[in-house]
Amino acid sequence: MRRLLARRMKFHLFGAFFVSLGCAALYKFGVAEPRKRAYAEFYKNYDAMKDFEAMKAAGVFECAPPK
């Protein structure tokens, strides 16, 4: 029974470290990287002026009334 807490603590500390490292890797490659690719793909062909003109024609803006 001697040093039982220290032994168990060491085991759980290493386990928690590797689990958190795995979760971080899963988030990076499962969420962050696909999100970056989706944003890059969206803004590759995005035309802000065309979008602005469409919203202006729809009457979204008070400062730029539709013509």
> What local confidence, expressed as pLDDT, does residue 45 receive?
94
Q: Give the mean pLDDT of the chain.
A: 94
Question: CATH number of the domain that 36 lies in?
Answer: 4.10.93.10
Residue 53 lies in a domain: yes
Q: Does any domain span residue 14? A: no
**Contact in structure between 65 and 59 (CB atoms under 8 Å):** yes
Confirm whether 6 is domain-assigned.
no
The pLDDT value recorded for residue 66 is 79
Residue ranges of the chain with per-residue pLDDT less than 70 = none
Domain membership of residue 55 (yes or no) is yes
The Cα–Cα gap between 26 and 28 comes to: 6
Number of domains within the chain: 1
In a domain, 16, yes or no: no
The range of the structural domain enclosing residue 35 comes to 31-66
pTM given for the model = 0.67
**Residue 23 forms part of a structural domain:** no
